[in-house]
């Protein structure tokens, strides 16, 4: 903040005048709806007895399963930020449960459960022994590699490890183990040395946008998968749009269409070989994730959408190469595919389990009006923030009219579409909302220094004090 030297005429003292708070007038005149606040307070008071009954029923119930359920319930309450309403009940429940903690976890081999137990008890001042995690070590004294397949458990162990003391050496190992493996997929790829400088390294920003697609805790694996998927999309976009020669672009497109390397790819630069291998490896990871669920067809369907995205990128690159200016209609046919909304929707379905089955992909493949309208708007917003127009005011007005019209189409289609589960439709809307955030203050992915940076700091770094 800037400051200036001022003079107190009464005392003759000089001092630095600091800038006033930018928020004082804002909140002083911020409208407050007292009635709405009273309604919310009443609703909160109304549900308190129900939650209290759930907790105290668990308190009086006996058995290890009941203990497990009540500890997980307490963890959920803490995560939701409502635990402070029930501190007395939580204290009684934990005091009772801790008396038999060793018996309760004796036959428990779920990493997530043990980690949550440890975190909850340590959070409330109960010194649960870190020896409980020895069961997850192999004969070599190290944490078993098989644990890395349990994303939920790994994240919980990572969280629990932060409550270690100076004598909890095993938790030091746990923190090192989880940190190493949660970062490994990115580090093992060695982006910095293998990719040329054109790549937009935006993994954190991409995860932020993915959070708007599904924020719920049980979609943790889905968020990881989709972040990898959109990273592949960004690599494709940057390769075709900002770096590769036309011959390199055509070679990459042909290899991806075949979904296998060929002799022509063997002749290409190392960076292009790496891009190609990276994309295939990402989809191999997806196959391992969903194959055990009997949903391999989902990866195949997503691959086909990804191929369409690649072809659209190649088409735009060819136009740019020969300085061809297509009609607006022809441009939008290719442009709405290149902006990647269809492919991204397919990517969101992969991690949704049995919520998004084959009919969801068939619906997407039919190019429903709902997705068309969202995709067109995505194209328009991308262009409005990414290009300098000769007649900006007139052009922006026309593009804005198109966006408003497509918003109306989206609203209408939401009321009439019955072919797919409501949650699938919600993914489409979340995708549209994400676009509004990404392009609301410029091209947020390419230039995230402004609002997007503030949002990321708020979401990931600024703690909410309860």
d(CA 92, CA 197): 57
- Are the beta carbons of 208 and 459 closer than 8 angstroms? yes
Nearest residue to 398 (alpha-carbon basis) of 384, 410, 385: 384
How far is the C-alpha of 450 from the C-alpha of 435, rounded, in Å?
16
CB atoms near residue 272 (< 10 Å): 21
pLDDT at 196: 63
**Token pair listed for 198:** 């054109």
Residue 13 exposed, middle or buried by CB count within 10 Å (0-12, 13-18, 19+): exposed
* φ, ψ (nearest 5 deg) of residue 8: -85, 105
Task: Pick the closest to residue 70 from 82, 61, 80 (CA basis).
Answer: 61
Distance set, CA 415 to CA 250, 262, 366, 406, 442 (Å) = 42, 47, 18, 14, 31
Give the H or E element holding residue 17. strand 13-18
- DSSP lists the bridge partners of residue 8 as 13
Determine the pLDDT at residue 391. Answer: 54
Write the CB contacts of 272 (distance below 8 Å, at least 6 apart in sequence): 239, 244, 248, 251, 252, 265
Around 428, how many Cα atoms within 13 Å sit in the side-chain half-sphere?
29
359 in Cβ contact with 395 (< 8 Å): no
For the chain, domains (ranges, CATH) are 239-461 (1.10.600.10)
Taking the chain (466 residues) in runs of 10, the rounded mean pLDDT of each run is 57 68 68 79 85 69 77 89 87 92 94 96 93 96 92 92 91 93 67 67 84 83 90 90 89 92 84 90 88 82 93 91 86 82 90 85 92 88 67 73 86 87 88 83 72 83 62
| Cα atoms in the 13 Å half-sphere on the side-chain side of 429 | 14
Cα 345 to chain centroid distance, Å, stands at: 14
Residue 139 half-sphere exposure toward CB, CA atoms < 13 A: 0
Measured in degrees and rounded to the nearest 5, phi and psi for residue 394 equal -65, -45
Helices 358-365 & 341-350 angle (0-180, nearest 10) = 180
Q: Which of 293, 290, 292 is nearest to 347 (CA)?
A: 290
- Residue 378: helix, strand or coil by DSSP? helix
HSE-CB of 186 using CA atoms within 13 angstroms: 15
Q: Can you give the pTM of this predicted structure?
A: 0.62
Name the helix (H) or strand (E) containing 8.
Answer: strand 3-8
Q: Are 378 and 370 within 8 A, CB to CB?
A: no
- Joined together, the tokens standing for residue 40 give 């919310």
């Amino acid at each position: 903040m800037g400051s200036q030297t001022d003079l107190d005429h009464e005392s003759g003292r000089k001092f630095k005048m600091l800038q006033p708070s930018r928020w004082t007038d804002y909140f002083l005149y911020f409208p407050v709806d007292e009635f709405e606040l009273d309604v919310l307070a009443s609703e909160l008071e109304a549900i308190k007895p129900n939650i209290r009954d759930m907790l105290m029923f668990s308190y009086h119930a006996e058995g290890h399963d009941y203990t497990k359920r009540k500890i997980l319930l307490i963890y959920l309450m803490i995560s939701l930020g409502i635990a402070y309403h029930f501190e007395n009940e939580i204290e009684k429940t934990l005091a009772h449960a801790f008396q038999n903690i060793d018996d309760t976890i004796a036959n428990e081999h779920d990493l997530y459960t043990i980690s949550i137990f440890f975190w909850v008890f340590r959070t409330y001042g109960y010194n649960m022994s870190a020896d409980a995690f020895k069961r997850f070590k192999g004969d070599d004294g190290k944490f078993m590699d098989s644990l890395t397949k349990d994303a939920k458990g790994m994240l919980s162990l990572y969280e629990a490890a932060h409550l270690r003391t100076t004598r909890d050496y095993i938790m030091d190992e746990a923190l090192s183990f989880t940190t190493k493996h949660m970062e490994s997929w990115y580090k093992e790829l060695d982006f910095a040395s293998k990719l040329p400088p054109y790549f937009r390294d935006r993994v954190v920003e991409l995860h932020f946008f993915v959070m708007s697609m599904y924020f719920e805790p049980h979609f943790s694996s889905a968020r990881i998968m989709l972040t990898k998927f959109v990273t592949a999309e960004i690599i494709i976009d940057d390769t075709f749009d900002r770096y590769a020669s036309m011959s390199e672009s055509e070679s990459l497109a042909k290899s991806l269409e075949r979904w296998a390397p060929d002799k022509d790819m063997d002749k290409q630069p190392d960076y292009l070989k790496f891009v190609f291998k990276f994309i295939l490896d990402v989809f191999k990871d997806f196959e391992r994730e969903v194959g055990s669920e009997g949903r391999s067809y989902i990866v195949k369907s997503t691959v086909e959408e990804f191929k369409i995205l690649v072809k659209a990128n190649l088409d735009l690159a060819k136009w740019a190469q020969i300085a061809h200016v297509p009609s607006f209609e022809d441009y939008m046919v290719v442009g709405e595919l290149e902006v990647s909304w269809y492919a991204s929707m397919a990517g969101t379905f992969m991690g949704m389990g049995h919520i998004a089955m084959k009919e969801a992909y068939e619906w997407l493949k039919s190019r429903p009006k709902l997705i068309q309208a969202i995709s067109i708007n995505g194209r328009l917003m991308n262009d409005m923030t990414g290009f300098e127009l000769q007649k900006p005011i007139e052009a922006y007005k026309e593009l804005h009219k198109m966006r408003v019209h497509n918003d109306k189409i989206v609203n209408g289609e939401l009321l009439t579409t019955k072919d797919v589960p409501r949650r699938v439709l919600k993914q489409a809307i979340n995708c549209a909302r994400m676009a509004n955030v990404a392009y609301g203050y410029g091209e947020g992915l390419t230039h995230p220094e402004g609002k997007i940076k503030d949002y990321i700091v708020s979401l990931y770094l600024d703690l909410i004090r309860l």
